[in-house]
Amino acid sequence: MSESEFESESESESEFNPHEDRDQAIQFDPEMRSMPREVRNVLHPVRMEGNTPFCFRCHPEIACFNACCSNIEIILTPYDMLRLRKRLNITADEFLYQYATPYTLTKGQLPVSLIRMDPATGKCPFNTPQGCSVYEDRPVTCRYYPIGLALMHKERTTGNEAFYYLVKESYCQGHQETTEWTVDSWRQDQGSDGYDARNQGWMDIILKRRSAGDEVQTSLQLSEFFYMASANPDEFRRFVFESTFLSRFDVPEATIEQLRTNDEALLDFAFDWLKTILFGDKKVALKPKTP
Ligand code: SF4
Ligand code: SF4
């Protein structure tokens, strides 16, 4: 989807069930059955690599324009929320109250946020007849579409393997277009790469938590820390500067200065700290105890 392709009025509304194809596909594909629900819901069983070609084009004149922006579960990554908050010029609390709904990942039980669809219409709150009103700052899931990113994780290992699936929903007519892409050229065109890099720490934690298996429970307090760090960096900043945090953790002065004003640096630090307290990764050192 190029930016200009979201500029004119939609001509049709979706009358399709976006979950029907997925449910049928999952029945025939054992690998998809073993995926967490929130991942498999957006996948079609055609495994793709970075150089796999596909044809796709989305534009305002297409009959299904805007059909994909309703009744969907879009997980908001920390960097998605940061970009959207800045665009809307609102605080993290205001963003969560107005646009997000909490959701617990099936495996690993970590809390994340979904875009809250309008309860009356089922539409994404950022959807307009002209297309996406936050297009330049749209979430990474919307950037990937119609590609699904699957991050498979073998139980009790630390190895991650990223691969892609074509999301081929019956209502999406972009697949009948002839513009050719590879997964890599599509990701580059849509700006997905920068988002993935910014969200890496968050993804690492989700995947590592999944790999621990079902019997390892995340305590309520650790879940709350994870949600605060991912979804509410304003609160995490208050936690760093207004609690005993800096007397307990050995944070270099230069980092402290960055954390005061730089939201991206705050996110990176938050996930390093979470890896320390969740997995003992020693990314953020404890201060030595005074005798
Ligand atoms: S359903 Fe597909 S082609 Fe139609 S607007 Fe959405 S992404 Fe574009
Ligand atoms: S953020 Fe934009 S592209 Fe994504 S679902 Fe909402 S309106 Fe559609």
Residue identified by tokens 């640096």 is: 265
- pLDDT tens-place string over residues 205-237: 888 887 776 656 678 888 899 999 999 999 999
Q: Which of 58, 64, 124 to mutate to test the pocket of ligand 2 (most atoms within 8 A of CB)?
A: 124
Q: Is the CB of 75 under 6 A from ligand 2?
A: no
% of the chain residues with pLDDT over 90:
52
Whole-angstrom CA distances from 250 to 148, 233, 247 are: 39, 20, 8
Averaged pLDDT score across all residues of the chain: 81
Q: Is the CB of 69 under 6 A from ligand 2?
A: yes
Q: Are the C-beta atoms of 70 and 117 separated by less than 8 Å?
A: yes
What one-letter code names the amino acid at 230?
S
- Which amino acid is present at 242? E
Q: What is the pLDDT of residue 26?
A: 44
Q: Which of 58, 72, 132, when mutated, tests ligand 1's pocket best, judged by the most ligand atoms within 8 Å of its CB?
A: 58
Residue 198, amino acid = R
CA 57 / ligand 1 centre spacing (Å): 8
Q: Which of 18, 15, 7 is nearest to 128 (CA)?
A: 7
- pLDDT of 162 higher than 90: no
Cα–Cα distance between 188 and 183 in angstroms, integer? 9
User: Does residue 8 register a pLDDT over 70?
Assistant: no
* Residue nearest to ligand 2 atom 8, measured at CA: 69
pTM, full prediction: 0.82
Angle at which helices 220-231 and 78-88 cross, to 10°: 50
pLDDT in tens, 165-213: 888 788 899 999 999 999 999 999 999 888 888 988 998 888 888 777 6
The residue that leads in pLDDT, 284 or 44, is: 284
Q: Contact, 226 vs 205, CB < 8 A?
A: yes
Q: Which residues make Cβ contacts (< 8 Å) with residue 258, sequence separation at least 6? A: 265, 266, 269
CA 235, CA 48: separation in Å to the nearest integer? 39
Pocket of ligand 2 contains residue 76 by CB under 6 Å: no
Q: How much is the average pLDDT of 107-130? A: 91
Residue 193 CA, ligand 1 centroid: distance in Å = 21
Domain range list for the chain: 3-72+117-198, 209-279
